[in-house]
Amino acid sequence: MQSIHNIFFENSKNMSNIPSNSIDLVVTSPPYPMIQMWDELFNTQNTKISKYLSDNNGMAAFNLMHENLNLIWNELWRVVKEGGFVCINIGDATRTLNNVFALYPNHSKIISNMLELGFQSLPEILWRKQTNAPNKFMGSGMLPAGAYITLKHEHILIFRKGGKRDFKKSNEKKERRESSFFWEERNLWFSDIWMDLKGTPQKISDKKIRKRSAAFPFDIPYRLINMFSVKGDTVLDPFLGVGTTTLAAMSACRNSIGYELEQGFQDLILLGIDNIVSYSNDRIDKRIDKHLSFVEERIKNGKEFKHINNYYNFPVITKQEIDLNLNKLISVNTENKSKIEINYLENEQKDLIIDTGNGLKSKLLEPKLPNKKKSSKTGTFYRY
């Protein structure tokens, strides 16, 4: 099994390298309108923006910045397949212009612009960023009618082009089953508020590059890719930054395409890719370990499992998880820096259980196994 990853250092307002109706999923985070760090970039796209900002005309600048993003959303409408998803991570901005403090609601502007293009809006995720810093309250302190709510969440907007995707052919159904995730992951990933992910610290020494980087944590694209696409799909990020979406697609056995204006990010992107084999395999091991702990805990609590996964031979909650298969990475080929290949282990099976220290086998056969009489289906355990 192989995946291919294209990276273009070009403006994504014209993605002519991508044929129409060819993208299964978009995962992205654009520059945030009205957040100061992006003023300069927006201004290079439309010089009227800095004029409006210096005239303190916040709403006019906000609208023009979104007009610029619309060029890219418009291209998404062309390249995304029927039934394909678009996930956009965006934060609202607060800003004081001419002594007037205001919120610029980027998320609602993007929703209305995407709806106008024809995308369907789906329930969204609020990413409540974990932080060690004490609450930063804004405004008049303990005196009423002049203090503002703290803004510590971002939005992950979710859209679909057209109706539900069909998985009709038997190979499509198989890919889908192999791309399933654990029941307990579903419970976390599909909740409407994500509270467990920290922002990503910017470890970049070059000042100019650091000014332009705002990477999201790996788990944001990694979860979204697992939630809204299947293995072998193509994932696009039109605002690639340091390449987090590409890395997540590599880990999840999907192809990817990224567009980034800043050529200076190339070395950082390649650095991430150079480490992707060990990083991904470690991530996969952690998912499996977490599942094994979940299994152990459930058994301790006297609960039962009705199904066994065909590849790993461990219990899973639902029938949908029995073909779940997390392919480990074997190698990466970066000879061509804009078209990178990843090779995967076909089916790493069963003996993975032995890799888990003292062994799942013994863990599962501890005396607290559910009472055999209660459910004959739990008998599948004894396949060990």
Ligand X SMILES: C[S@@+](CC[C@H](N)C(=O)[O-])C[C@H]1O[C@@H](n2cnc3c(N)ncnc32)[C@H](O)[C@@H]1O
Distance of closest approach, residue 33 Cβ to ligand X, in angstroms: 11
Distance of closest approach, residue 64 Cβ to ligand X, in angstroms: 14
Distance of closest approach, residue 11 Cβ to ligand X, in angstroms: 4
Nearer to ligand X, 236 or 316 (CB): 236
Nearer to ligand X, 235 or 292 (CB): 235
Number of residues that bind ligand X (CB under 6 A): 21
314 in contact with ligand X (CB under 6 A): no
Q: What is the DSSP letter of 378?
A: G
6 in contact with ligand X (CB under 6 A): no
91 in contact with ligand X (CB under 6 A): no
Nearer to ligand X, 13 or 78 (CB): 13
Q: Which of 92, 260, 321, 323 binds ligand X (CB under 6 A)?
A: 260
154 in contact with ligand X (CB under 6 A): no
Cβ–Cβ < 8 Å for 102, 58: yes
Residues 6+ apart with CB under 8 A from 171: none
Nearer to ligand X, 1 or 270 (CB): 270
> In Å, how far are 286, 320, 362 from 354, measured between CA atoms?
15, 24, 10
| Angle at 241 (CA atoms; ends 131, 52), nearest 5 degrees | 85
256 in contact with ligand X (CB under 6 A): no
Q: Supply 80's token pair.
A: 């995304």
Q: How far is the C-alpha of 45 from the C-alpha of 30, rounded, in Å?
A: 14
Nearer to ligand X, 76 or 324 (CB): 76
Distance of closest approach, residue 294 Cβ to ligand X, in angstroms: 29
Distance of closest approach, residue 248 Cβ to ligand X, in angstroms: 9
Q: How far is the C-alpha of 295 from the C-alpha of 272, rounded, in Å?
A: 33
3 in contact with ligand X (CB under 6 A): no
Q: Which stretch binds ligand X (CB under 6 A): 6-14, 78-86, 134-142, 335-343?
A: 6-14
Q: What is the DSSP letter of 130?
A: B
Binding string, residues 262-281; x marks residues near ligand X by CB under 6 A: x-------------------
β-strand partners of 158: 87, 122
CB-side exposure of 46: number of CA atoms within 13 Å? 17
Cβ–Cβ < 8 Å for 305, 316: yes
Nearer to ligand X, 265 or 305 (CB): 265
Distance of closest approach, residue 215 Cβ to ligand X, in angstroms: 3
Nearest to 113 by CA among 68, 57, 59: 68
DSSP letter string, 223-263? HHHHHH--TT-EEEESS-TTTHHHHHHHHTT-EEEEE-S-G
Binding string, residues 10-29; x marks residues near ligand X by CB under 6 A: -xxx---------------x
Q: How far is the C-alpha of 252 from the C-alpha of 326, rounded, in Å?
A: 8
Q: Using CB under 6 A, which residues numbered 200 to 239 contact ligand X?
A: 212-216, 239
Residue type, 16: S
Q: Supply 282's token pair.
A: 């470690």
49 in contact with ligand X (CB under 6 A): no
State the residues that interact with ligand X by CB under 6 A.
11-13, 29-31, 41, 72, 212-216, 239, 241-242, 244, 259-262
